Amino acid sequence: MTIIDGKAVSAALKESVKQRVAELPEKYGRVPHLVVVRVGEDPASVVYVRNKEKACEAVGIKNSTIVLAESTSEEELLNLIMALNSDDTVDGILVQLPLPGHISEAKVIETIAREKDVDGFHPYNVAGLWQKTPHVAPCTPAGIMKLLASIGVDPKGKRAVVIGRSNIVGLPVAKMLLDANATVTMCHTRTVDLPSVTRQAEILVVAAGRAKMVTGDMVAPGAIVIDVGMDRDPETGKLCGDVDFDSVAPIAGAITPVPGGVGPMTIACLMENTLECFLANR
């Protein structure tokens, strides 16, 4: 059984981004600039945004973080985004989700210029993924595909099962696996007899948002298990995934730990997307 080292794979990707960024000032006169907007003080968002700052620092990308009060109106936020859209010194815009309930996430996502949408959430970027036209790929699904490649797993011809159907992870990763010629089953926490479905998987991606929901009896021997969960263990309060690591790891062929698996890849892919947005708009 292999424990997939997301930290090492993400470090290698960030190193390659760093080297490419270092060459930009000579050619373009500056480095890429990522603006991260956080609204309110959601504790998880505070941590995520800080990690994005740290990653920018590590790869040499300029970062600005704009923190707005929880009470900021939708109109104020949309006006800020429009100002960033027309600012030629800004290459990437990321508005940290979730947003307070009085702000429409859909409106925010579609207001960010698609060329600066480093998350790959804009409707045109989503359409580009599904229609195979040029697009910014969403970070977590792209990171999962890179993790599979890092351990030499080619999805071609394999049975992949994705638990979870969110716009951010479940739906796009299923499409990417399909495009990599896997046979993909999309399912969710309400799927009837979920274990009989998950036991078919040679590649199992779990993005259900429920602590330790996938247990050893649900996994085929040798399966590659990708855990996208970021949960709190209800018993210990510690960070854990959607996969019960202790019962699944002895059965799996490979498994991502939480933390240290998919999470670091999301941020490394964000750095890559910021660089690619910068280059695409020169």
Indicate the residue among 48 and 245 with the shorter CB distance to ligand GUN. Answer: 48
Characterise 81 by phi-psi region: left (phi > 0), alpha (psi -120 to 50), beta (else). Answer: alpha
Q: Which is nearer to ligand GUN, 96 or 198 (CB)?
A: 96
Decide if residue 117 touches ligand GUN (CB under 6 A).
no
Give the C-alpha separation, 271 to 277, whole Å: 10
Whether 141 contacts 176, CB under 8 Å: yes
Q: Which of 77, 80, 136, 139 binds ligand GUN (CB under 6 A)?
A: 139
Q: Is there binding between residue 96 and ligand GUN (CB under 6 A)?
A: yes
Residues with Cβ within 8 Å of 105's Cβ and at least 6 positions away in sequence, in order, are 97, 98, 99
Which residues 20-59 are close enough to bind ligand GUN by CB under 6 A? 48
Residue of 58, 97, 113, 178 that binds ligand GUN (CB under 6 A): 97
Q: Choose the binding region for ligand GUN from 90-98, 157-165, 173-181, 207-215 (rule: CB under 6 A).
A: 90-98
| Helical segments of the chain, H only | 6-22, 24-28, 43-59, 74-85, 105-111, 123-131, 139-150, 170-179, 194-198, 245-248, 262-280
Interface with ligand GUN, residue 119, by CB under 6 A: yes
Provide the minimum distance between the beta carbon of 109 and ligand GUN in the complex, in angstroms, as a whole number: 9
Closest distance to ligand GUN from the beta carbon of 96 (Å): 5
Q: At a CB cut-off of 8 Å and minimum separation 6, what does 207 contact?
A: 162, 163, 164, 166, 169, 170, 173, 228, 229, 242
CB of 202 to ligand GUN, least distance (A): 27
What's the closest the beta carbon of residue 230 comes to ligand GUN, in angstroms? 8
Binders of ligand GUN among residues 164 to 223 (CB under 6 A) are: none
**Can you give the binding site for ligand GUN, defined by CB under 6 A?**
48, 94-97, 119, 139, 266
